[in-house]
Structure 1
Amino acid sequence: MVDRVVITNRQDALPERLNPFNIHIGDSAQFSANPKCGGDHQIDVNQPSISVSCLGMRGRYVGVRLPGPSRTLTLCEVQVFPGVNVAQGKPADQTSTYRYAHHGLASHAVDGNTDGNYYSGSCASTAHLPDANASWWVDLGESYMVDSVVIFNRMDCCGDWLNPFNIHIGDSAQVSTNPQCGGDHRIDVNQSSFSVLCPGMRGRYVGVRLPGPSRILQLCEVQVFPGRSSLHSVELLILRL
């Protein structure tokens, strides 16, 4: 079962060659005959990677294909992640909450629903009286080696409110005191999700923070995928298959 495929593009030159691309997943060695994960995908050429959600798809072979004639395919990394999101259903909190018709609760960002329409009732939001350093965090219940964090942004409007954002990972309940995963991150407002790689980081708490005054934080889902040392049971299952 494939949860998502992360494509890392060439960055020194010609990143636009990858667009558009398809992903095929299935059990046929003729991989282009396997079902497609979505349709044509586009990567922002200013970002090194794109995370493509393929929930519910299963297969032995995962392929990347450039549709059309006279194309050159360059890939710097392809990562395939099974469905082990350790944040889903865990306790979550935020610095404030916009409480309107039960929208905006912190728990909505870990409910397993990635719908980017805020009015569908599955996005978290801090108060609309903007916070300084508005923050959201999830308590994973125990410390994990974290491989990556996937952020799903609001898509019906206001997608630019998220930029720039920080990710903090560590064992302190004072989330902003935990180490940062990288520096300031930015999501392409035309893409629903953004995958941030955090290899080597460990923590019980994973937080998203908007640095600076007068910020409103809205998140439609946050997924946390553990690293190799936290996935022994999953790896054994894959070996059996």
Structure 2
Amino acid sequence: MSNGSDFDQVQKTTQSHRLTIEEVLLPEAGVNVALGKTAVQSSICSSTHGCHGNIPVDASRAVDGNTASDYHDGSCTHTTEEDNPSWWVDLGQPYAIGRVTIFNRMDCCPERLNPLNIHIGDSAQVSENPRCGGDHRLYVKWPSISVSCQGMKGRYVGVRLPGYRRVLSLCEVQVFSGVNIALGKTAVQSSRNGWSLGNPRSAVDGNTASDYRLRSCTHTAGEANPSWWVDLGQPYAIERVLIFNRMDCCPERLNPFNIHIGDSDQVSDNPRCGGDHQIDVNRPSISVSCQGMKGRYVGVRLPGFRVLTLCEVQVFPGRPSLHLLYAVV
């Protein structure tokens, strides 16, 4: 009976008002929605411009699923030297974008990418779309940067280098849907190292910089089973947890680590997401699938007498298959 009443009410509403519906796809948070999609760039470097004529450098190289960072492997894009070079991918329809991960060229010239802008919107002209943040900078010793875009909506995701006579080379661009629900939430850790740096909220400040000296990483004292946790404010079904490690020193300290999810503010009382996790110490981040585990608190704990440092923790909930935003006007 209630279903019929609801339908009747919608029918009456639509007869006297205009119903505006916006469809925004929210696929699973861990899915790269750019993979294999149509990509374009503002120019293509060729032998005429000094590039190797037998190495493919077209825009599709950044969405081929290959993150290899050596240009000579044939999986990186390359524009000519030009003003404001740009690259963009057509996702086919609008998505709510959680983050964009960019893989840089590392065999040569990694500094060329700095600074960069990310644009998201429904225009095929990159610069006409809103920017995700401001000028982003990649730490040139590491192959990738992950930028949070907090649900910005759009069909096109673009990378643009502002300035004169610049060259844009991208080895992969990954686009993930979903919103980081840990951002700006209350965070706690089991101890502090006694210095002014290392605050627990540094892991939920939106800054994924992996150099501790930049004041965006946590730091406990050396202790038994050090832990850090974030209060999401209410229970969520957690699809994925993304952890950014410290890279200027001691990246091996994080191994092994446990992730706990549940409704207790005591980390170890909550169930574990998987077992002992290990991060590749040559990579700044690790993404751990938690398959919809439910809880208000998400924690990271190091078993044993250890020191815990986290440069960012991002938490992504499970998906609804299609999100309908509507307004009756």
In the alignment, structure 1 residue 216 sits paired with structure 2 residue 216? no
RMSD: 3.5
Q: Cα–Cα, structure 1 residues 132 and 25, in superposed 2: closer, same or farther, change >3 Å?
A: farther
**1:91 counterpart = 2:186:** yes
Letter in 2 for 1:177: D
Q: Once the two structures are superposed, what CA deviation does each residue of 1:191-216 show, in whole Å capped at 9, x if it has no partner? A: 1111000012000000000011x200
What letter matches 1:142 in structure 2?
A: Q
Which amino acid in 1 is paired with 2:176? V
Equivalent residue number for residue 245 of structure 2? 153
Partner residue of 1:172? Answer: 264
Residues 77-121 of structure 1 show CA distances to partners (whole Å, capped at 9, x for unaligned) of x98323x11111111111111131x20111111111111110111
Q: Which residue of 2 aligns with 1:116?
A: 210
Decide whether the 8 Å contact of 1:26 with 1:59 is kept in 2.
no
- Provide the aligned length of Structure 1 versus Structure 2: 195
Q: 16, 21, 26: which is aligned to 2:89?
A: 26
> Which consecutive unaligned segments of at least 5 residues does structure 1 have?
8-16, 30-35, 43-50, 69-77
1:60 and 2:123 are equivalent in the alignment: no
Q: Percent identity?
A: 53
Which residue of 1 is the match for residue 226 of structure 2? 134
Residues 155, 27 of structure 1: alpha-carbon distance in 2 compared, 3 angstrom cutoff: same
Q: Deviations over 1:186-240 (max 9, x none)?
A: 111111111000012000000000011x2000000001011125x97xx224x99
- The AA in structure 1 aligned to 2:226 is A
Q: For residue 225 of structure 1, what is the amino acid of its counterpart?
A: F
Distance 1:41 1:177, change over 3 A: farther
Instruction: Tell me what 1:81 maps to.
Output: 177
For 1:152 and 1:28, the matched residues in 2 are separated by 27
Shift of 1:155: 0.9
Structure 1 residue 19 displacement after superposition: 4.8
| Rounded Cα–Cα distance in structure 2 between residues aligned with 1:28 and 1:197 | 24
- Cα distance in 2, alignment partners of residues 37 and 197 from structure 1: 17
**Residue pair 1:5, 1:52 contacting (<8 A) in 2 also:** no
Question: 1:146 aligns to what SS in structure 2?
Answer: strand
TM-score (ref. length: structure 2): 0.52
Which residue of structure 1 aligns with residue 102 of structure 2?
38
CA contact (8 A) 2:256 2:276 kept: yes
TM-score, with structure 1 as normaliser: 0.69
The structure with more radius of gyration: 2
Residue 236 of structure 2 is aligned to residue 236 of structure 1: no
Please say if residues 267 and 301 of structure 2, whose CA atoms lie closer than 8 Å, have aligned partners that are also in contact.
Answer: no
